[in-house]
Chains A and B, each alone.
Chain A
């Protein structure tokens, strides 16, 4: 059974810092890995999708990497802003469902 773990569970940083969020998974036979952002009481917003054959994806200040063999992904956020405050979730897909971690709750202080 696929288990997805996100560390840390919560993170608080001052504005402007670069930061890394971690995601690990137990079964490396995945189709893809997707990072999402969730604001309180809202749905999920897709940030980046990494297919199993890819090593990384970039979008603006975000960079996500994937190491399937070690079962790890990282989400790097450059020059953090207060508007980045949210919960970040990673999800791995195999077969027809995505398995999610519990998320990292990020607070960026002005």
Chain B
């Protein structure tokens, strides 16, 4: 499968625990995005990487959230001290910087904080 891959697909955690999600973009894509989607809403932008550089962060990304993309390949999104309000679908997307900038999304990680 050469699409965007996210792991895990589902995560249930207790409030206060830390969680980490992984995203593997399409191999030649140098742009990587994280979005969050709650029920009945469109995805909301969280952060953006070009290669290994994190170039933009939304105000939605509180200090409990951190994202990395070492070596410009896969990316991780960590949420510390999870809260019930963090329950959502976390989506990763990738695209090319040059050429056709079509964004491709992964299947998402559904986080439930209990």
Cα-based distance from A42 to B106 in the complex (angstroms): 9
Q: Which residue of A lies closest to B40 (CB)?
A: A102
Cα-based distance from A54 to B100 in the complex (angstroms): 13
Q: Is A91 an interface residue (CB 8 A)?
A: yes
Q: Is A69 an interface residue (CB 8 A)?
A: no
Q: For residues 53 through 78 of chain B, which have their beta carbon under 8 Å from a beta carbon of chain A? A: 55-56, 58
Max chain A Cβ within 10 angstroms of own Cβ: one of B4, B43, B93, B106: B43
In the complex, how many residues of chain B place their beta carbon closer than 8 angstroms to a beta carbon of chain A?
25
Q: Which residue of A lies closest to B6 (CB)?
A: A43
Cα-based distance from A101 to B56 in the complex (angstroms): 21
Interface residues on A, range: 20 to 34
What 9 A-B pairs have minimum CB-CB distances, sorted nearest first?
A100-B42, A97-B45, A44-B105, A43-B107, A96-B48, A49-B102, A43-B105, A43-B108, A96-B56
- A-B residue pairs in contact (CB < 8 Å), sample of 29: A4-B42, A34-B102, A42-B107, A42-B108, A43-B6, A43-B91, A43-B105, A43-B106, A43-B108, A44-B43, A44-B91, A46-B102, A46-B105, A89-B42, A91-B42, A93-B101, A95-B56, A96-B48, A96-B55, A97-B33, A97-B48, A97-B58, A98-B33, A98-B103, A99-B45, A100-B43, A100-B44, A101-B42, A102-B42
Other A-B pairs beyond A99-B45, A102-B40, 16, CB < 8 Å: A4-B42, A32-B101, A34-B102, A34-B103, A42-B107, A43-B91, A44-B93, A45-B105, A46-B104, A89-B42, A91-B103, A93-B101, A98-B33, A100-B43, A100-B44, A102-B42
CB within 8 Å of A: which residues of B? 4, 6, 33, 40-45, 48, 55-56, 58, 91, 93, 100-108, 110
